[in-house]
Structure 1
Amino acid sequence: MSTTWDVERAAGVLLGCEDARSDRPPLTDEWPELDLATAYRIQDETLRRRRDRGERLIGVKLGLTSRAKQKRMGVDSPLTAWLTDAMALPAGEPVPQHKLIHPRVEPEIVFVMKDRLAGPGVTAAQALAAVGTVCGGAEVIDSRYRDFRFTLPDVVADNASSGAYVTGPVGLDPRTLDLALEAVLVEVDGQIVDSATGAAVQGHPAEALALAANDLGRRGLAIEPGWVVLTGGMTDAVFAPPGAEIACHFTHLGSVFLNGGTEADG
């Protein structure tokens, strides 16, 4: 049994890779015993260290919310991870290439909470009732693992491939929309490359929100008022190299534009 890896070392290694913009093999290559519960402890330890260096917790994100991605990973439910203010990208700012290793972009339906949401036992209807506004967004995912190769515990430990995110200019009451039918077109350098609807996210984004609340509830945590919740990628992620022009066009939630920027940005 491995005695060289523990929560503290893994957190330090992953944050070190992030800070140095260097990738590495998955932790499970050297720590095959790593399980999901320990991976979440690593994720929480990296959050503690982020907060110690001045970052502020502002929300949660979900990963593996699409059935196709779950099947690919051999799981039957999404994973949760943390958002800090250092991950928020102001509208119009380029992809922060100087901070990221191999960024990719995926469209998301984003909730901003008005009420506290504490599980377990939260339903999709209760989750939606706790939302203040919904908007379109784009997450810039990154991974500290080479070639995005990882197991489920690896990606949980790595804070669900967190990088950055941006939200669009339109914020609406979610009860005025059918979010399962809210569509998005993903455009790269002027060409439409993918499309989806909110149904790709657990059947409805509110189901993903409820799952997040229930998952956190089992760990004695809750989704707090004012938090941002990224409900998960609606399509597969597209690469975001320097110079790329990426847009996510939503039916009612406006458009989110991202410029790939340059290595010197920042």
Structure 2
Amino acid sequence: METQAVRDASARLLLAYDKGEPMAPVIESFPEATVADAYRIQQEQVREWVAGGDVVKGHKVGLASRAMQEQMGVDQPDYGHLLAGMFHLEHQPIDAGSFLQPRIEPEIAFVLGRRLTGPGVTVADAIRAVDFVVPALEIVASRITDWKISIVDTIADNASSGGVVLGSKPTALSDVDLRLVGCTLQLGGELVATGAGAAVLGSPINALVWLANTIGPLGIDLEPGHVVLPGSMTRAYPVRAGDTVVADMGALGTVTAVFAE
């Protein structure tokens, strides 16, 4: 894509946020767009958000589990940026109306203590860089009408990032086997899904390695203090005003998101 086309696609996505109305798929208006172009569109929006005063606080890996890939009709992971304005406090009311077509998914969030710079990052490097993990709920949202997304659409849409709720119980990696962490997801007091850490690329740490090695060649580092969401352990479930969502991850603790009436 030409630079102007990238800017035009970015402007349309930003307008969808401003108007609160989903738009037609990016790939329909820009059929020549590639995955590389989609990341350029994403980065153009991130520059706009940062210029407006927001701050990059981490990254997310999307579509890392088979369940999510099947649900969204794609066959590879992607990544997006987490901005400071996306973080919400546990148990405090969240305005569901501030998201377009919101869904929620449980994840094990990494909080980094050291910088990770790819390519060449190994599992050992990734483990050494993690300060602790916490249970998390990611609110995914789509500016694409009816979630009719291709891999190009979701990447351009900042990997469908919406919001993040972090639990408050930190756990050291040495105290847990992430592959074996089980999760139950309750929506409105009803059990809707179960999952395990192994659903995320075999282990969430593999998603962290993938992320560091994918964004490193683009000149992007994972910084100390950054939060990394490695991917959902279950399918994503729609949420609306009045919903309460609880993810219970056993020894890792619980995390609760409350959507205001």
Fold similarity call, TM over 0.5: yes
Q: Normalized per residue, which structure has more helix?
A: 2
Q: Which one is further off, 103-112 or 86-95?
A: 86-95
Structure-2 residue corresponding to 1:230: 229
Deviation at residue 3 of structure 1 after TM alignment? 8.2
Native 8 Å contact 2:74 2:150 kept in 1: no
Deviation at residue 123 of structure 1 after TM alignment? 1.7
Structure 1 gap segments, 5+ residues each:
none
Native 8 Å contact 2:42 2:155 kept in 1: yes
Output the amino acid matched with 1:73.
G
Q: Which one is further off, 53-62 or 121-130?
A: 121-130
Deviation at residue 253 of structure 1 after TM alignment? 1.5
SS across alignment from 2:174: helix
SS across alignment from 1:257: strand
Structure-2 residue corresponding to 1:111: 110
Deviation at residue 5 of structure 1 after TM alignment? 6.7
Deviation at residue 13 of structure 1 after TM alignment? 1.1
SS across alignment from 2:80: strand
Instruction: Work out whether 1:94 is the aligned partner of 2:93.
Output: yes
Q: With the length of structure 1 as denominator, give the TM-score of the two structures.
A: 0.93
CA separation in 1, counterparts of 2:142 and 2:111? 25
Q: Which one is further off, 87-96 or 34-43?
A: 87-96
Output the amino acid matched with 2:96.
Q
Question: What aligned pairs does 1:180-259 form with structure 2 within 5 A after superposition?
Answer: 180-259=179-258
Q: Deviations over 1:14-54 (max 9, x none)?
A: 11111221101101112111101111011111000000110
CA separation in 2, counterparts of 1:251 and 1:124? 24
Structure 2 gap segments, 5+ residues each:
none
Q: Deviations over 1:190-243 (max 9, x none)?
A: 111101010011110100000000001121221111101011111111111111
Native 8 Å contact 2:67 2:234 kept in 1: no
CA separation in 2, counterparts of 1:186 and 1:31? 37
Distance 1:91 1:74, change over 3 A: closer
Question: What aligned pairs does 1:58-207 form with structure 2 within 5 A after superposition?
Answer: 58-70=57-69, 73-75=73-75, 77-207=76-206
Q: With the length of structure 2 as denominator, give the TM-score of the two structures.
A: 0.95
CA separation in 2, counterparts of 1:191 and 1:121? 43
Deviation at residue 68 of structure 1 after TM alignment? 3.6
RMSD: 1.6
Q: Which one is further off, 241-250 or 208-217?
A: 241-250
CA separation in 2, counterparts of 1:69 and 1:172? 26
Aligned residues: 260
Output the amino acid matched with 2:156.
A
Displaced runs of 4+ in structure 1, greater than 4 A? 2-5
